[in-house]
Amino acid sequence: MKSEKIAHLERRLGYEFSDKGQLALALTHRSCGSRNNERLEFLGDSIVNFIIAEALYEQFPDAREGQLSRLRARMVRGATLAELGREFELGDFLRLGSGELKSGGYRRESILADAVEAIIGAIYLDAGMETCRSRVRSWFEQRLAVLSTTDQQNKDPKTRLQEFLQARQKSLPLYRVSSITGEAHDQVFTVVCELDCLDQDTLGEGPSRRGAEQQAARKALKLLGITP
């Protein structure tokens, strides 16, 4: 990767690597071969969970454990990490095998989310915990600022949809898997959400059935006029 391209990404991240090889490895998907970002992803996953848990613990001193767990899950879920990846325009920097390139892997939520976790792991190895904590908190700052332990928005879409329907004595949604594509290690689930009170079904996609169901439920909420 050319030095000017690396510098461009580092400006987006707000961090300059001493060891550029760590960043290159964090951007290398397993489709490129055995030397890839999976180990950094494993490390970054643990680190981001800790840093966000710590931030929430400080931000909500009166919150119960269950409330903090739900907030953390919302912050570190794949969809949120992929949003960060898109903000950094990581798709322009990922190193993918030919198969992933042809299938548009640089746009895939799971690949973007994994790369963000890998970059977090790489920053930790390159500079230590304090610097890593500072960077991660800055990336999540605006998202953390709008959180509330009592806000209905903090509940996941499936829960909000179910509560909305139950309050109005409507039939609960039916979630149906319509397709599963991709390799066994990198599947994409497509789920249909069927509602009696809507004239059309909604579709959701994700790297897991649960994630696809959440996306389908979110679209159903929007059609019902219920938005965060």
Contacting residues for 35 by C-beta, under 8 A, at least 6 apart: 25, 28
Nearest to 188 by CA among 110, 112, 113: 110
For residue 24, how many other CB atoms are within 10 A of its CB? 16
Q: CB-based burial of residue 102 (10 Å sphere; 0-12 exposed, 13-18 middle, 19+ buried)?
A: exposed
Told to judge if 126 belongs to the known catalytic residues of this protein, a careful annotator would answer no
Question: Per the residue annotation, which of 41, 109, 114, 117 is the catalytic one?
Answer: 117
Cβ within 8 Å of residue 102, ≥6 positions away: none
Considering the candidates 41, 45, 100, 109, report the single residue annotated as catalytic.
45
Active site residue 199: no
Output phi, psi for 190, to 5 deg.
-115, 125
- Residues belonging to the active site: 45, 117
